[in-house]
Amino acid sequence: MSLSDYGSALVTGASSGIGTALVRALTERGIKTYALARRRKRLDALATETGCTPLVVDLRDKEEIDRALSELDVDILINNAGHGRSEGPLHQADVNAIYDMIQTNVSSGLHLVRAISPRLVARRHGHIVMIGSVAGLHPIKASVYGATKGAIHLLCQNLRIELVGTGVRVTEICPGRVRTEFFEHAFGTAQGRELTSGFTLLEPEDIASAVVHALDAPQRVNITMVEMTPTEQAVGGLQIAESGNIA
Ligand SMILES: NC(=O)c1ccc[n+]([C@@H]2O[C@H](COP(=O)([O-])OP(=O)(O)OC[C@H]3O[C@@H](n4cnc5c(N)ncnc54)[C@H](OP(=O)(O)O)[C@@H]3O)[C@@H](O)[C@H]2O)c1
């Protein structure tokens, strides 16, 4: 099984950034691609450009997911939609931001796999790709976002065990910083720009290439996880409080 053996794909979060690059990459390879997001105008423009089929769905609403996807039969699910919200430390976080990130980044992924995978298992071929994050693998100062991406990481590991022997492959892609709208949406224009300037970020097309590489691998190969960062970004560090600050 390589990309040319797959016929169709669902890409979530297709209206911008990584999702848009994925839709372009897949349609260029002749894959019938369903492009899902909330912003209809963006999806319509992408449909005109690439020939993809738009699906306007708010992934926080399970009934909307079920309505839109009940008849959908695809070989590839790319669970890419997701976002961060300016959360601050958890002891100061906004409750709505917590629910929003959990619904968008985690619950929707579970519902999508639940909706799409029975047909993959029945056909004994298919590919599930999850866009995680380095934030799901390493500590960062964003407890909720990191926890949602950590959940995706373990979900992928668990799915591989559940699906072993079915022919369905599961790939997790964990990017560092990518040049998309992500940071402006999460932190507002000024802080978003600050977080994405002064170094060379990954491009959405870099993530799409990694996904295509995993889809293109022969059926005997499951590329389980790819962690990729900008060359000018490294993850990790040590936090030390100033002495005398603890009561
Ligand atoms: N950019 C980075 O540095 C980075 C790093 C690591 C991981 N990631 C991950 O990469 C994925 C894609 O993000 P991006 O960087 O491409 O950001 P982006 O440009 O902001 O794209 C996010 C996409 O998710 C969609 N989305 C958000 N909430 C949704 C909802 N409730 N229902 C349906 N669609 C929804 C948005 O579409 P609508 O607003 O039109 O619904 C948009 O298409 C995310 O999972 C993100 O966590 C990004």
Write down the pLDDT at residue 247.
Answer: 67
Sequence-distant (6+) residues with CB within 8 A of 88 are none
- 44-87 pLDDT, tens digit each: 999 999 999 999 999 999 999 999 998 999 999 999 999 999 87
pLDDT score for 135: 97
Q: pLDDT for 17-43, tens place per residue?
A: 999 999 999 999 999 999 999 999 999
Q: Is 206 left (phi over 0), alpha (psi -120 to 50) or beta?
A: alpha
**Sign of the alpha-carbon torsion through 223, 23, 21, 105:** negative
User: Residue 227 pairs with which residues in a beta bridge?
Assistant: 174
Active-site residue list: 145
Query: Hey, which bits of 42-134 come out as E strands?
Result: 53-56, 76-79, 126-131
- Cα-atom radius of gyration of the chain, to the nearest Å? 18
78-111 pLDDT tens trace: 999 999 998 789 999 999 999 999 999 999 999 9
| DSSP code for 136 | G
pLDDT tens digits for range 144-176: 999 999 999 999 999 999 999 999 999 999 999
Quote the pLDDT of residue 244: 72
Residue from 11, 12, 16 whose mutation best tests the ligand 1 pocket (most atoms within 8 A of CB): 16
Residue 13 in contact with ligand 1 by CB distance below 6 A: yes
Q: Which atom of ligand 1 is nearest to the CA of 39?
A: 40
Average pLDDT score, the chain: 95
Q: Which of 75, 99, 82, 6 is nearest to 37 (CA)?
A: 82
Q: How far, in Å, is the centroid of ligand 1 from the Cα of 133?
A: 12
Quote the DSSP letter at residue 90. G
Please identify, by atom number, the ligand 1 atom nearest to the C-alpha of residue 81: 24
How far, CA to CA in Å, does 26 sit from each of 7, 18, 77, 147, 218?
Answer: 10, 12, 12, 30, 17
Question: Hey, whose CA ends up nearest to atom 2 of ligand 1?
Answer: 178
Backbone φ, ψ for residue 96 (5° rounding): -65, -35
| CA atoms 88, 39, 49, 64: torsion sign | positive
Q: Where are the domains of the chain?
A: 3-228
Ligand 1 neighbour 180 (Cβ under 6 A)? yes
Laid out side by side, the sheet with 168-175 consists of 53-56, 32-37, 8-12, 76-79, 126-131, 168-175, 225-228
* Triad 213, 31, 66: Cα angle to 5°: 105
CATH topology of domain 3-228: Rossmann fold (3.40.50)
According to DSSP, residue 223 is labeled -
Q: Ligand 1: distance of its center to the CA of 81 in Å?
A: 4
β pairing state of 225-228 and 126-131: unpaired
Neighbour count for residue 6 (Cβ, 10 Å):
21
DSSP element (H, E) containing 175: strand 168-175
Tokens for 207, please give them. Answer: 């993530």
Per-residue pLDDT of 195-245, as tens digits, reads 899 999 999 999 999 999 999 999 999 999 999 999 999 998 888 888 876
